Amino acid sequence: MKGLTERLGNCVLFNDMDVKEVANVLEKVEYRVNPFGKEGIIAHEGDECTSLGIVLEGYIEVRKTYASGKTVVLTKLYEGNIFGEAIVFSKLHRYPSTIVSMTDSKIMHINRRDVIALCSSYPSVLERFMEVLSERILMLSRKVRELSYETLRHKICSFIMEMFEKQKSNILKVPITRQNMAEHLGVQRPSLSRELIRMKEDGLIDFDRDTITIKDIRALEEFLT
């Protein structure tokens, strides 16, 4: 059976560290480790979140429970994953969903103030923590932008401009199937085909099976604004 040090070394917050440093952290920092059984509730929706959680062993699910009793799985977390990292530092620090252990599991909890202490003492942990939060912000911002496009043509324009940025050519190699492209844009394949044809008719692009040729980049950009 693996020791606590190795388990923790897997965690995104500590994987800059070697075994010795992790052992050092475990000596210096306040924490607690709680075991949960299958279907054990790690946190209820609405509970105060006063600590950062780290999955040391097992696998857990984040679930939204509705008054009707129906539940929906939002995320699955495995060994080394953390949870509550944004909640614990927010003003209204309450869990927005329920966290359930799916197997026998061991969960490490570090209180808010001890996370602060941990970050103060170990800059590498601080950096990793910041990176986790930052990447999350960028990912969510991207998602908001994508979801904000109003029409299919907007989405296609954005998709084309992204490829253009990468390939820096007016003749774009489309590396995925229409089906995949449609899924990526969140629409039906025939809808995508239809709109591509319309854009061709409107003189914006030309296309065949695996390339899209930009005919009027101005108009494509104009569309995105």
Residue of the chain from 190, 211, 216, 221 that contacts DNA (CB under 7 A): 190
What residues between 62 and 121 interact with its own copies by CB under 8 A? 66-68, 70, 72, 85-91, 116-117, 119-121
End-to-end Cα distance, the chain: 57
Instruction: Please name the residue that has the structure tokens 């296309």.
Output: 207
Judged on CB neighbours under 10 Å (0-12, 13-18, 19+), 38 is exposed
| DSSP H/E element including 167 | helix 152-167
* Minimum distance, C-beta of residue 61 to its own copies, in the bound complex (Å): 15
| DSSP H/E element including 109 | strand 105-111
Residue of the chain from 19, 33, 41, 137 that contacts its own copies (CB under 8 A): 137
Count of Cβ atoms closer than 10 Å to residue 207 Cβ: 18
CB of 55 within 8 A of CB of 107? yes
DSSP code at position 16: T
3 state DSSP class of 30: coil
Residue type at position 182 = A
Mask of contacts with its own copies, 8-47, x by CB under 8 A?
A: ----------------------------------------
15 vs 151, beta carbon nearer DNA: 151
What residues between 204 and 223 interact with DNA by CB under 7 A? 207-210
116 vs 197, beta carbon nearer DNA: 197
The reply on whether position 131 binds its own copies by CB under 8 A is: yes
The reply on whether position 157 binds DNA by CB under 7 A is: no
Residue of the chain from 179, 184, 202, 221 that contacts DNA (CB under 7 A): 179
The footprint of DNA (CB under 7 A) covers 151-153, 177-179, 186-191, 193-197, 207-210
